[in-house]
Amino acid sequence: MIKGTTKLLGVIGHPVEHSLSPAMHNAAISHLGVDFVYLPFPIKPGDLKAALAGFAAIGVRGFSITIPHKQAILPLLSEVSPIARSIGAVNTVYLTDKGWCGTNTDVEGFLAPLQTPPTPPDQGGARGGSDWSQKVAVILGNGGAARAVVAGCAQLGCAEIHVVGRSEQNLAEFQQSWVNSPMPVQNLQVHTWENLSMLISQADLLVNTTPVGMYPQGEKSPVADGALNRISAGAIVYDLIYNPNPTQFLKDAQLRGARAIDGLEMLVQQGAAALKIWLHKESVPVDVMRQALRQHLGLS
Ligand code: NAP
């Protein structure tokens, strides 16, 4: 129930109407019985600075950030975590004595299903395994989400990290940005899509960070049928897309014996990591958050 004492959290973006975050966070807030509410705030690009001042004035405790503010907010913050600086994007902002501080919980979200013991496919199909030092990661796409995935693969300690993209110039800039990063990644190689089938045969972890196959184009896959024949049985194939669930890419991979992880768990876990920061709690009800998202997406 909203009362005179209720503290505000929310998500800023433009557009923000389709955000799944309010459903996920309010389900957890209600389950915990804490005096918070999480609201969508549609903020136009030119209004970001004014919104931050307004949020401070009305006592907002923290907020999530989605397109188009993830990079633009960086110079407006008092502190930015090294991980957010490396990725070049902030997805979570919280208030401290110093002012607004930013971090990025996407890496934590991406890693969570790779680090936990196996769970049923209807809960994200998470996979365990702790020694990544001999493993080869292949990442499709070189946009914003790919940056969190590269940072995650570096944290896992992957032997080789390969990024596949469309533009040689973007790829070269992407690679260079990791050399000069606060958290440098040395073992990163970049490739155009022509090299994909050779890379797939070496991959222990294959991650789609492109939007290809996302609703309403759920019949598409970033990897042409046939190229996936080279994936080794037992490799992990991870799609950041959570709608449809599973994607065509994951269905094709599973048919070839690969182990599939969908993007829903990353979404849940990046949200859980943010909620822990805002509520100063060591744990939040991840199951409740996952269930709220599944219901919202019509998956259960
Ligand atoms: P982004 O910054 O726009 O990057 C998209 C990347 O995909 C770019 O490298 C782009 O290549 C590439 N791409 C786009 N269309 C392509 C095509 N037809 N063929 C080949 N490559 C293509 O987007 P993003 O923020 O990284 O998000 C990407 C996806 O990840 C979205 O589906 C998003 O929903 C998902 N995501 C999920 C989570 C989660 O929690 N599960 C979190 C973040 C993102 P160019 O550079 O050549 O344009």
What's the confidence (pLDDT) of residue 64? 98
- Average pLDDT for 145-154: 97
For residue 146, pLDDT over 80 is answered with yes
CA 241 to ligand 1 center in whole angstroms: 9
The answer to whether residue 226 sits within a structural domain is: yes
Q: Is 110 a domain residue? A: no
The percent of residues above 90 in pLDDT, for the chain, comes to 92
- Determine if ligand 1 sits within 6 Å of the CB of residue 64: no
- Both 130 and 182 in a single domain? yes
In what helix (H) or strand (E) does residue 162 lie, and over which residues does it extend? Answer: strand 160-165
Local confidence band at 126 (pLDDT 50, 70, 90 cut-offs): very low
User: Do 148 and 239 belong together in one domain?
Assistant: yes
Regarding whether 284 and 252 lie in a shared domain, the answer is: no
- Ligand 1 neighbourhood includes 229 CB (under 6 angstroms): no
Mutation test residue for ligand 1: of 111, 192, 195, 209, the one with most atoms within 8 Å of CB: 209
Q: How far apart are CA 184 and CA 203, in angstroms?
A: 22
Question: Is residue 70 annotated as part of the catalytic site, yes or no?
Answer: yes
Statement: residue 276 has pLDDT above 50: yes
Query: How far does residue 277's CA lie from ligand 1's centre (Å)?
Result: 27
- Predicted local confidence at residue 117, as pLDDT: 62
Looking at the CA of residue 67, tell me the nearest atom of ligand 1.
25
Say yes or no to pLDDT of 125 above 50. no
79 touches 101 (CB < 8 A): yes
Instruction: Characterize 108-135 residue by residue with b for buried, 16 or more Cβ atoms within 10 angstroms of its Cβ, and e for exposed.
Output: bbbbbbbbeeeeeeebbbbbeeeebeeb
Is the confidence at residue 31, as pLDDT, over 90?
Answer: yes
Q: Which residue range is the domain that position 163 belongs to?
A: 126-261
Please report how many Cα atoms fall inside a 13 Å half-sphere around the Cα of residue 139, on the Cβ side: 28
Q: Is the pLDDT of residue 195 over 90?
A: yes
Judged against a pLDDT cut of 60, whether residue 123 lies above it is answered with no
54 and 136 co-located in one domain: no
Average pLDDT, the chain: 94
Q: Output the CA 166–ligand 1 centroid distance in Å.
A: 12
Q: Is residue 154 part of a domain?
A: yes
Residue 180 is predicted with a pLDDT of 87
The answer to whether residues 217 and 255 belong to one domain is yes
Q: Determine the average pLDDT of the residues in 108-128.
A: 67
- CATH number, domain with residue 190: 3.40.50.720
Do 221 and 212 contact (CB within 8 A), yes or no? yes
Could you tell me the distance, in angstroms and rounded to a whole number, from the CA of residue 140 to the centre of ligand 1? 9
- Is 256 inside a domain boundary? yes
255 and 270 housed in the same domain: no
Q: For residues 236 and 1, which has the higher predicted lDDT (pLDDT)?
A: 236
Least confident of 12-21, 78-87, 121-130, 134-143: 121-130
Q: Do the domain assignments include residue 109?
A: no
Q: Does ligand 1 lie within 6 Å of residue 137's CB atom?
A: no
Confidence of residue 129 (pLDDT cuts 50, 70, 90): low
Residue-wise pLDDT tens digits, 215-247? 999 999 999 878 899 999 999 999 999 999 999
Burial class (CB in 10 A: 0-12, 13-18, 19+), 30: middle
pLDDT at 118: 52
- The answer to whether position 82 is within a domain reads yes
Are 111 and 155 spatial neighbours (Cβ–Cβ below 8 Å)?
yes
pLDDT at residue number 300:
78
Give yes or no for a contact between 235 and 256, defined as CB atoms under 8 angstroms apart: no
158 Cα to the center of ligand 1, angstroms: 22
Averaged pLDDT, 192-214? 96
Total domains, the chain: 2
145 lines ligand 1 (CB under 6 A): yes
> Is 253 found in the same domain as 136?
yes
Q: Is the pTM of this model over 0.85?
A: yes
Q: Is there an atom of ligand 1 within 6 Å of 113 CB?
A: no
Q: Is 220 in the pocket of ligand 1 (CB under 6 A)?
A: no
Q: Based on the domain organization, do 132 and 251 belong to the same domain?
A: yes
Q: What is the pLDDT of residues 50-63, one digit of tens each?
A: 999 999 999 999 99
Does 121 fall in a domain? no
Say if residue 272 is in the same domain as residue 182: no
Given ligand 1 and candidates 110, 150, 166, which is best to mutate, with the most ligand atoms within 8 Å of its CB? 166
Banded pLDDT at 30 (limits 50, 70, 90): very high
| Ligand 1 pocket mutation, candidates 171, 208, 210, 269, criterion most atoms within 8 A of CB | 210
Does the pLDDT value for residue 170 go beyond 90? yes
Which of these is catalytic: 3, 44, 70, 251?
70
